[in-house]
Structure 1
């Protein structure tokens, strides 16, 4: 018997939904206008936003799982990778994939290195583990990848004055158990390019894969010199021994979030990143990336924007980045008590206290950033770190400069000066003071470090109660991250990583936890 399709209309009530979204968006940091110097990359061109949005809408129902069914996906990916390969001086042996972002690109690069190492060591003993060698400043994505892929992590200290490891220190860590060496172009924390050429030469001589993490620099450093900037150290496929490069299009490629490229020298090497299954009763599965089904929207937006800009467009935008970077770097160095760390190779600056001036004339970069925020600008604070060799990387404030910064650079520079004048000579809370406050151990004779043992037995609710009471502001909707982040960053420096990690996980996890009350059905559904 044939069933009769229901003619009952599907209840859909769109009233007020977009209005509520607009209201929620009011609490977000602004993504345009140059007031947030991290996370967002604004070219200042409304036409690119419209182009990207139209491209996303045109492919919003496509599934990137199968480019043999949705063939436009294969064409767009091929053309985006071709452009990226040309920009990074790849030849006919360089192939690649489009991924969801830098973390996925870096994880796949580590997977390639691991599988290549296993192929080169077929007689390894059971339980033998490979290492990946990375500088302390390499992106946290590599630490995540090492954990996911069961690899040992070998961290090489960097020079605290420059943020760059020496080639000799990197090369000294090489050995038969190394599956991958990672160098950055540039490293995000301080904006400097690692010694790619020297490390790649030594690693190549030992048959070790070398990945260049150019996630933040891959779409701006290739145009830096043409835009009037200083020479950039060689880092791309012109360097013998470089086997793979990651470059996020959603950073200085100026496209919506969700697009990175991973380029690999050699098809056989690149095939290690693939996953395939043909021995199950469903459709054959072949994935080039970690995801199966995936939206084609970010790819379409990236393809459209790169087609529109081309090399000339990227050079022009990079020139605006470079000009704004020069102005801000000069301004920071003119502020008594602050200075730029090292010699950055692009549009990323890390600002530290200038310890060459008297203590009462110094400016703490975290207090400075908090004060800058009160003037309407968001800078990114970064904690200090004691490296494995005992040297300490200073705590810094990070500025990511984008083309739109050039439109507001004078106003921003004035805010940087004003904020520094307000906090000059003020010391941030000592980590031990913040730790004692959080753990309630301010009483004389109580060792706050001994009290950390509470975290070894604490469950999620216990950790949350400590965090919310000591570090977070109480708003109408419950605890919120405070506007002034200096105490929180000071605490991160004071705590062992497993403890500070648990505390910050609890903060982030609570943001999106489901409400306890059930969602009521809409009137139209009743």
Structure 2
């Protein structure tokens, strides 16, 4: 595709953009239980106005746009107070949880280089830790040690993490909450371990950090997880989740500035302007920052407490309702509004397809470690109003799923073929062949997806994770492509 010879008129341009969205999930109806966090129309209008006010301001250099420094200091201060920090806590506004986590890992790496002379650093994470830690280790050329969790609670096994510590360990990780199961790792025990071993401890509170303090105030039994816990040295928290800010809005907080300085990057060794970056990005719109500041002040503490009250009530109602549906069971009792449930009697992937046919988007999670394949719900602002409809449809979809044949057919031959594969010897042509065969078997043609995804999910669920990853890279590499013929 090329730049059009003549520019489009305003109406035609926006008609095209609207047409592109025809098959996107209509998330404003509240029936999408992943990926989006709807603040409601009034807050959305506030966010849009603040975002566009600062769309053109460049947050790269606060000496040119000092208002961005005011906004960031305010947002970081709010986050520090919210997470039990004192005046020593220092932080930065980032584009999202992944950037916050990547910077936390970089901080630990550079701190260990300076303080301990470690050149081959390792971080230890529970197997439930977010994939962003794997990504950070990959980007920063570090070793990640993944440790099994308690198979009943899906919380970090502190004894197993202790046993995994070696001479090159620089960082321990815990989640509050873990995305997959909605539970808080034993942060107080991890903090004690970090102090004993003189290690840094990062708490990934990207999805839980904002809402958990409100749930605690409403009487929910929320375990300790923030800077009040001895041993915690950094925390990541997203605002674009349950603070309902515009994407991307996150914050990384450190116990003090001495740690935060390892996060920064400076370069004077070139012929252009001297570079000093607090985050991964250099040039960046101040729109997300201004929108975050605006939504925090729009709702205020009382507004967020009421939103939390509704989501806590929805969580309790939906968790109890799932437990009453024959054939379904919770993987863990959630400590926030993230719910994971599975079945030993029907295919959860069939249930997901049936729910989608009724206008619900619920998220599939493949099996990994001690966690069986399951359905994941991120309960939103409107979940309480929709709970009865959701539970009714869920129960009916389970009944339908019982009558359907196993998705993907007989996968015994696939298991046999996989057992003889040497993943180290699979080159791109062979991976492409496997991908085409798998796509043909599950009904995928080119870049299109079938209406029902159960067979695709079932096949992926039977693949070893390393092969899943390599096939998905091949698929995504083909999905995003340039067209230079003008078509």
TM-score tier, shorter chain, comes to over 0.9
Match status 1:323 vs 2:319 = no
- Say whether residues 1:111 and 2:106 are aligned partners: yes
How far apart are the structure 1 equivalents of 2:86 and 2:28?
37
The whole-number CA distance in structure 1 between the counterparts of 2:424 and 2:141 is 29
For the pair 1:193 / 2:184, whether they are aligned, the reply is yes
Other-structure match for 1:152: 143
1:344 to 334, 344, 358: 334
Please point out which of 474, 489, 507 is paired with 2:475: 507
Deviation of 1:498 (Å): 3.1
Is residue 2:207 matched to residue 1:221? Answer: no
Equivalence for 2:3: none
- SS in structure 1 at match of 2:466: helix
Contact 1:431 1:490 (8 Å CA) reproduced:
no
Q: Unpaired runs of 5+ in structure 1?
A: 1-9, 356-361, 387-391, 520-526
Map of 1:94 onto structure 2: 89
C-alpha deviation, 1:104, in angstroms: 0.4
- The whole-number CA distance in structure 2 between the counterparts of 1:451 and 1:238 is 49
Q: 2:221 aligns with which of 200, 221, 231?
A: 231
TM-score (structure 2 length as normaliser): 0.93
- Residue of 457, 460, 463 corresponding to 2:427: 457
Equivalent residues in 2 for 1:455-494 (5 A)? Answer: 456-459=426-429, 462=433, 465-474=436-445, 478-494=446-462
- The 1:183–1:473 alpha-carbon spacing in structure 2 relative to 1, beyond 3 Å, is same
C-alpha spacing 1:472/1:270, structure 2 compared with 1 (3 Å) = farther
Alpha-carbon distance, 1:492 to partner: 2.2
Counterpart check, 1:243 vs 2:214? no
Which SS does the other structure have where 1:416 is aligned? Answer: helix
Deviates more, 1:423-432 or 1:195-204: 423-432
- Among 22, 33, 38, the alignment partner of 2:34 is 38
1:180-231: CA deviation from partner (whole Å, max 9, x where unpaired): 1000001001111001000111112221000000011011111102234x21
Contact 2:350 2:407 (C-alpha < 8 Å) held by counterparts:
no
Does the 8 Å CA contact 2:418/2:463 hold for their aligned counterparts? no
1:279 corresponds to 2:262:
no
Contact 2:347 2:407 in 1 (8 A): no
**How many Å apart are 1:323 and its aligned residue?**
1.0
Once the two structures are TM-superposed, the CA of residue 503 in structure 1 deviates from its matched residue by: 1.8
Q: Gaps spanning 5+ residues in structure 2: where?
A: 1-5
Q: Deviations over 1:402-444 (max 9, x none)?
A: 11112222111111111111113656347971863xxxx9xxx
* Partner SS, residue 316 of structure 2: helix
Rg larger in structure: 1
Q: Give the match's secondary structure for 2:301.
A: helix
User: Secondary structure at 2:377's aligned position in 1?
Assistant: strand
Which shows bigger deviation, 478-487 or 193-202? Answer: 478-487
Alignment partners' CA distance in 2, 1:219 and 1:435: 47
Q: Is the 8 A contact 2:408 2:442 kept in 1?
A: no
Using the alignment, how far apart are the partners of 2:437 and 2:484 within structure 1? Answer: 22
Cα distance in 2 for residues equivalent to 1:140 and 1:51: 32
Aligned CA distance change for structure 1 residues 82 and 431 (closer, same or farther; 3 Å): farther
Aligned-pair CA distance for 1:396: 1.0
Question: Where does residue 17 of structure 1 map in the other structure?
Answer: 13
Q: 1:46 to 1:91 in 2, by over 3 A?
A: same
* 1:238-274 C-alpha deviation (Å, 9 max, x unpaired): 1011000001111111012111110110101111010
CA 159–427 in structure 1, closer or farther in 2 if over 3 Å, else same: farther
Matched-pair contact (CA < 8 Å) for 1:63–1:70: yes
Conserved? CA contact 1:52–1:304, under 8 Å? yes
**Structure-1 separation of matches of 2:335 and 2:408:** 32
Aligned to 2:393: 415
Q: Find the counterpart in structure 2 of residue 255 from structure 1.
A: 245
Alignment partners' CA distance in 1, 2:110 and 2:260: 10
1:295 Cα deviation after fit = 1.3
Task: Give distance in 2, aligned partners of 1:405 and 1:435.
Answer: 42
Aligned-pair RMSD on alpha carbons?
Answer: 2.2
Relative to the length of structure 1, the TM-score reads 0.87
Distance across 2 between alignment mates of 1:179 and 1:19:
52
Residue 471 of structure 1 deviates from its aligned partner by: 2.9
Deviates most, 169-178 or 271-280: 169-178
